[in-house]
């Protein structure tokens, strides 16, 4: 098992070098559409190197303004959603410095937020509304932190204000990690409590082959709801998708 994990690490490192080369030398020459396609392909290749099979259910967002709201389990979540389809994330500033994920997230145009700063949150909401009006697909993790994937935490409502201001729909997205052989829920990719990032990565690499399941729900429009009510309804939508 350990030897197999080490070989997977070698494969991942090779893919990382390819990603670094692409971000530094290829991305500046690409159109926006081709950059999106390249990011998706790189994310899919990284998952394959880690023996994680991507399963997409439901309809990914069509081109046009959309706010994706997903549950949050792992450092892998950003990679999995980029592999399922292009989107720009709204994420905590620490992600910028994560290996692999931070590189791809930055290349995808992630909007980084200082979680402790109310003023920075207002800045990001304003920027989100601008990007939604411009037709971007944005993705948020409204729980605000990772969970074990079994329980769903309450959704924070602040970032939903951007969709209200931009008159954009919100699409619930459910993320799950399951053992590829048994179909049972896997805790291997979790990044919670006292887990370290490197410890979680190593646990994922030493685990049996996994499936990352991304389930897209039906988009919702505000229909006069204020952000807290809408956030609660979207959370219910994610809960149904997980079931």
pLDDT tens per residue, range 143-182: 988 988 888 999 999 999 999 999 999 999 999 999 999 9
Q: For tokens 């409204």, what's the residue?
A: 142
pLDDT tens per residue, range 204-214: 988 999 999 99
- Cβ burial, residue 190 (10 Å; 0-12/13-18/19+): buried
Q: For tokens 């892998």, what's the residue?
A: 76
pLDDT of 1 over the 70 cut:
no
Q: Report the 10 Å Cβ neighbour count for 74.
A: 26
pLDDT of 97 over the 90 cut:
no
pLDDT tens per residue, range 41-58: 989 998 998 999 999 999
User: What pTM was estimated for this model as a whole?
Assistant: 0.90
Measured distance CA(4)–CA(137) in Å, rounded:
37
pLDDT band at 17 (very low <50, low <70, confident <90, very high): confident
SS3 194: coil
Strand (E) or helix (H) holding 9: helix 2-21
Domains identified in the chain and CATH numbers? 2-242 (3.40.1130.10)
Instruction: State the DSSP code for 50.
Output: T
Helix orientation angle between 2-21 and 32-49, rounded to the nearest 10 degrees: 170
């Amino acid at each position: 098992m350990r030897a197999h994990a080490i070989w997977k690490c070698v494969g991942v490192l090779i893919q990382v070098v390819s990603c670094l080369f692409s971000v530094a030398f290829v991305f500046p020459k690409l159109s926006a559409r081709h950059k999106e396609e390249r990011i998706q392909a790189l994310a899919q290749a990284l998952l394959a190197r880690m023996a994680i099979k991507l399963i997409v259910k439901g309809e990914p967002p069509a081109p046009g303004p959309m706010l994706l709201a997903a549950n949050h389990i792992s450092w892998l979540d950003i990679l999995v959603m980029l592999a399922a389809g292009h989107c720009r994330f709204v994420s905590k500033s620490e992600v910028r410095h994560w290996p692999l994920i931070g590189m791809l997230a930055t290349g995808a145009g992630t909007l980084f937020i200082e979680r402790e700063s109310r003023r920075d949150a207002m800045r990001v909401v304003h920027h989100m509304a601008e990007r939604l009006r411009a037709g971007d697909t944005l993705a948020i993790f409204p729980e605000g932190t990772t969970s074990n994937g079994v329980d769903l935490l309450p959704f924070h409502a602040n970032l939903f204000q951007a969709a209200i201001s931009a008159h954009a729909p919100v699409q619930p997205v459910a993320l799950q990690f399951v053992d590829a052989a048994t179909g049972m829920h896997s805790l291997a990719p979790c990044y919670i409590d006292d887990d370290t990032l490197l410890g979680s990565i190593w646990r994922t690499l030493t685990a049996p082959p996994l499936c990352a399941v991304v389930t897209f729900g039906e988009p919702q429009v505000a229909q006069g709801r204020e952000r807290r009510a809408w956030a609660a309804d979207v959370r219910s939508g994610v809960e149904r998708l997980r079931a």
